[in-house]
C-alpha cells in the first residue's frame, strides 16, 4: 500500500489540489479536483449601492477583472433602465477584447505552451516560461508584446490596466481620444500580425498529444450573436451532449436553465443544467455553439480547427486550440474597432435618473466562459441579493471527471511518475481555471496532487510539504 504526493504543481490561477484515492491493489478508486479556498463576494455585496458594483466586483480577480466589470455594468444598465448608446457599447466590446487578448495570451504562451513547445515529458525545471524563453525566445518576446497591448487597451479604455473603472450604468465615463486610438491601432496591428504568425504553431500544438486525456461527455454553453462568436452581447446558447441545440436564453432566463450545487470535497460550487445534464463553458464550448467567428483570419483558423475536430467536439485538450482561435479573433476584432475613427465619437453614455427595475442580470463571456451577475436592489438602489455564476464553477464537473479519467490512465500500481502527474495537470490547465474568480479569495498557490490509500481520513494532520516524509515513514 502506498501514497505519493507531488508538490508543487504549477501554472494555474489560484489554489487547488488533486486527490487520487487508491484501493488496496494500488489501482485508482476515484479522483477529485478539490478547491480549498472559500468565496465571499456574494455576501458582502449586500448593502452596497448597486452603481458601485462595477468597481467592487473587479476585485474578485486580478486576471479577469474586466469581465466582472462588464457583467456588473450590464446588470446596472438594466436596473437603471439605460442601455448604452452605439459608441458606448462599442467601447465596452473593445475593452472586452483587451481582456481576452491579455488572458488568453497569458494562458497560451506562459501556462500551456511549455507543455507543448518544451514538451510534456521535459523535466519540471524546464517545463515553464523560462524553459520557453530558452527554447523559443522569439515566441516568448512576442508573448510579452501581445500582453502589453491587452494591458494598454484595458488602461486606455478602462482607466486602469488591472481593475478597470470606467464602465458605469448607461455606458462608459469618457470617449476615446484620437491620439489614443492611433497609439492602440499601431500596437493592435502588431499584435494581430503576431497572432496570425502564432497560429502556425498553435495549430500543430496538439499533434504529439494523446487527445483522449481528460475525456468527459457534457453539454456546452456559450454566447452567440446570431450564430457569431460574441463576448459581450447575444443569447446564451446551449448544445446537448450530442451537439443538438437546446433553446437559448438571456437575462433572468438563466434560472430556468441552470442550477448551482455543492459537493463535500470542494468549496468551489458546481453547476448543471436543470434536468441534471452537466455542461462546460469557455473556448471549447463557444466554438461548439457558434457558426462563425465573424472576422476573416479567425474564420479561416476555425475552418482548420473544424477539419480536425468537426463542428462539434468533446475533446478536452482542444480547449487549447480553441482558446488560440479566440485570441486571434479578438486581436482581429480590436483592429477592426480601432481602424474606424467613429470609435472616438462622444455618444458614450445614456443619462441615468433612478432605479427603473428591482432586478438586473448582466451576462458576458469571460475568457474562461459564461459569467453571470444577478443583482436585486431596493427602491434606493442598494443591493439586497446578489448571485454570481462564474466560468470555473461551470467547468468544475468537467475538470473533476477529467482528472479521474486521466488518473485511471496514468496511475499504475499505486505510483505516479512526474510526467504522468503533468498529464493530470495538463487536463486541468486546458480549462484555464481561475480559482480566484471561482471562490473570490485572495492568494495564489500551487496545486498539490495526492494519492491516498483507501479509508484514510482526509487530512490526518499532515502538512502539505510533510506528506512525502510521512508517506515514506508509513510505508516502511
Residue closer to Mg ion (CB basis): 223 or 388: 388
Q: Is 387 in the site for Mg ion (CB under 5 A)?
A: yes
Residue closer to Mg ion (CB basis): 259 or 297: 259
Site string for Mg ion, 283-322 (x = CB under 5 A): ----------------------------------------
C-alpha cell at 53: 458594483
Q: Report, in Å, the least distance between residue 103 CB and Ni ion.
A: 8
Q: Which does 308 bind (CB under 5 to 8 A by kind): Mg ion, Ni ion, none?
A: none
Site string for Mg ion, 324-363 (x = CB under 5 A): ----------------------------------------
Q: Which residues of 95-118 are buried (b: 16+ CB within 10 A; e: fewer)?
A: bbbbbbbbbbbbbbbbbbbbbbbb
Q: Is 376 in the site for Mg ion (CB under 5 A)?
A: no
Q: Report, in Å, the least distance between residue 436 CB and Ni ion.
A: 5
Task: Confirm if 38 and 269 have CB atoms less than 8 A apart.
Answer: no
Residue closer to Ni ion (CB basis): 73 or 437: 437
Residue closer to Ni ion (CB basis): 63 or 403: 63
Residue closer to Mg ion (CB basis): 153 or 364: 364
By Cβ distance, which residue is nearest to Mg ion?
387
Residue closer to Mg ion (CB basis): 70 or 452: 70
Q: Report, in Å, the least distance between residue 58 CB and Mg ion.
A: 17
Q: Report, in Å, the least distance between residue 391 CB and Ni ion.
A: 8
Q: Report, in Å, the least distance between residue 417 CB and Mg ion.
A: 38
Q: Report, in Å, the least distance between residue 81 CB and Mg ion.
A: 25
Q: Using the rule CB under 5 A, give the single segment among 45-53, 192-200, 379-387, 425-433 that binds Mg ion.
A: 379-387
Q: Report, in Å, the least distance between residue 332 CB and Mg ion.
A: 33
Residue closer to Mg ion (CB basis): 293 or 389: 389
The site for Ni ion (CB under 5 A) is made up of: 61, 63-64, 434, 437
Q: Using the rule CB under 5 A, give the single segment among 163-171, 294-302, 388-396, 433-441 that binds Mg ion.
A: 388-396
Q: Using the rule CB under 5 A, give the single segment among 24-32, 44-52, 165-173, 387-395 that binds Mg ion.
A: 387-395
Q: Report, in Å, the least distance between residue 228 CB and Mg ion.
A: 28
Q: Which does 387 bind (CB under 5 to 8 A by kind): Mg ion, Ni ion, none?
A: Mg ion
Task: Confirm if 343 and 113 have CB atoms less than 8 A apart.
Answer: no
Residue closer to Mg ion (CB basis): 388 or 421: 388
Residue closer to Ni ion (CB basis): 424 or 434: 434
Q: Which does 64 bind (CB under 5 to 8 A by kind): Mg ion, Ni ion, none?
A: Ni ion
Q: How many residues bind Mg ion (CB under 5 A)?
A: 2
Q: Which does 7 bind (CB under 5 to 8 A by kind): Ni ion, Mg ion, none?
A: none
3-state secondary structure the chain: CCCCEEEEECCCECCEEEEEEECCCCCEEEEEEEECCCCCHHHHCCCCEHHHHHHHHHHHCCCCHHHHHHHHHHHHHHHHCCCCCHHHHHHHHHHHHHHHHHHHHHHHHHHHHHHHHHCCCCCCCCCCHHHHHHHCHHHHHHHHHHHHHHHHHHHHHHCCCCCCCCEECCEECCCCCHHHHHHHHHHHHHHHHHHHHHHHHHCCCCCCCCCCCCCCCCEEEEEEECCEECCCCCEEEEECCCCCEEEEECHHHHHHHEEEECCCCCCCCEEEECCCCEEECCHHHHHHHCCECCCHHHHHHHHHHHHHHCCCCCCHHHHHHHHHHHHHHHHHHHHHHHHCHHHHCCCCECCCCCCCCCEEEEEEEECCEEEEEEEEECCCCEEEEEEEECHHHHCHHHHHHHHHHHHHHHCECCECCHHHHHHHHHHHHHCCCEHHHHHCCCCCCCEEEEEEECCCCCCCCCCHHHHHHHHHHHHC
Q: Which does 4 bind (CB under 5 to 8 A by kind): Mg ion, Ni ion, none?
A: none
Footprint on this chain of Mg ion (rule: CB under 5 A): 387-388
Amino acid at each position: 500500500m502506498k501514497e505519493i504526493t507531488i508538490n508543487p504543481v504549477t501554472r494555474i490561477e489560484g489554489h487547488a489540489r488533486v486527490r487520487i484515492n487508491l484501493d488496496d491493489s494500488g489501482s485508482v478508486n476515484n479522483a477529485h479536483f478539490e478547491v480549498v479556498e472559500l468565496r465571499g463576494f456574494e455576501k458582502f455585496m449586500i448593502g452596497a449601492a448597486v452603481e458601485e458594483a462595477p468597481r467592487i466586483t473587479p476585485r474578485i480577480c486580478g486576471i479577469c477583472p474586466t469581465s466582472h466589470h462588464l457583467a456588473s455594468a450590464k446588470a446596472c444598465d438594466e436596473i437603471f433602465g439605460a442601455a448604452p448608446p452605439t459608441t458606448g457599447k462599442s467601447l465596452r466590446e473593445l475593452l472586452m477584447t483587451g481582456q481576452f487578448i491579455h488572458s488568453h495570451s497569458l494562458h497560451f504562451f506562459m501556462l500551456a505552451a511549455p507543455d507543448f513547445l518544451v514538451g510534456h515529458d521535459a523535466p519540471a525545471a524546464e517545463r515553464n516560461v523560462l524553459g520557453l524563453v530558452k527554447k523559443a525566445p522569439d515566441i516568448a518576446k512576442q508573448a510579452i508584446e501581445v500582453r502589453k497591448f491587452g494591458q494598454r487597451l484595458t488602461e486606455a479604455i478602462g482607466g486602469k490596466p488591472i481593475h478597470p473603472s470606467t464602465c458605469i450604468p448607461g455606458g462608459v465615463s469618457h470617449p476615446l481620444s484620437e491620439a489614443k486610438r492611433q497609439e492602440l491601432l499601431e500596437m493592435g496591428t502588431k499584435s494581430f500580425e503576431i497572432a496570425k504568425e502564432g497560429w502556425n504553431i498553435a495549430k500543430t500544438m496538439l499533434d504529439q498529444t494523446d487527445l483522449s486525456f481528460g475525456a468527459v461527455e457534457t453539454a456546452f454553453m456559450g454566447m452567440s450573436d446570431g450564430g457569431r462568436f460574441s463576448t459581450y452581447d447575444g443569447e446564451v446558447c446551449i448544445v446537448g451532449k450530442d451537439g443538438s441545440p437546446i433553446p437559448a436564453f438571456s437575462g433572468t432566463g438563466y434560472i430556468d436553465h441552470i442550477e448551482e450545487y455543492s459537493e463535500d470535497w470542494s468549496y468551489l460550487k458546481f453547476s448543471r443544467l436543470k434536468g441534471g445534464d452537466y455542461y462546460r463553458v469557455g473556448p471549447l464550448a463557444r466554438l461548439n455553439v457558434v457558426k462563425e467567428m465573424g472576422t476573416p483570419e479567425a474564420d479561416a483558423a476555425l475552418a482548420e480547427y473544424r477539419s480536425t475536430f468537426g463542428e462539434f467536439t468533446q475533446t478536452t485538450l482542444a480547449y487549447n486550440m480553441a482558446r488560440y482561435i479566440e485570441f486571434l479573433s479578438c486581436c482581429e476584432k480590436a483592429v477592426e474597432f480601432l481602424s474606424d475613427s467613429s470609435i472616438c465619437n462622444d455618444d458614450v453614455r445614456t443619462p441615468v435618473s433612478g432605479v427603473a427595475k428591482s432586478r438586473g442580470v448582466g451576462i458576458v463571456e469571460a475568457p474562461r466562459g459564461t459569467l453571470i451577475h444577478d443583482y436585486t436592489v431596493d427602491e434606493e438602489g442598494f443591493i439586497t441579493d446578489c448571485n454570481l455564476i462564474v466560468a470555473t464553477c461551470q467547468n468544475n464537473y468537467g475538470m473533476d471527471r477529467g482528472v479521474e479519467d486521466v488518473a485511471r490512465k496514468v496511475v499504475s500500481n499505486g505510483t505516479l511518475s512526474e510526467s504522468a502527474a503533468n498529464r493530470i495537470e495538463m487536463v486541468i490547465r486546458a480549462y484555464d481555471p481561475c480559482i480566484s474568480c471561482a471562490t473570490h479569495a485572495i492568494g495564489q498557490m500551487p496545486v498539490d496532487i495526492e494519492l491516498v490509500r483507501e479509508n484514510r481520513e482526509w487530512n490526518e494532520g499532515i502538512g502539505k510539504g510533510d506528506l512525502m516524509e510521512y508517506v515514506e515513514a508509513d510505508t516502511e
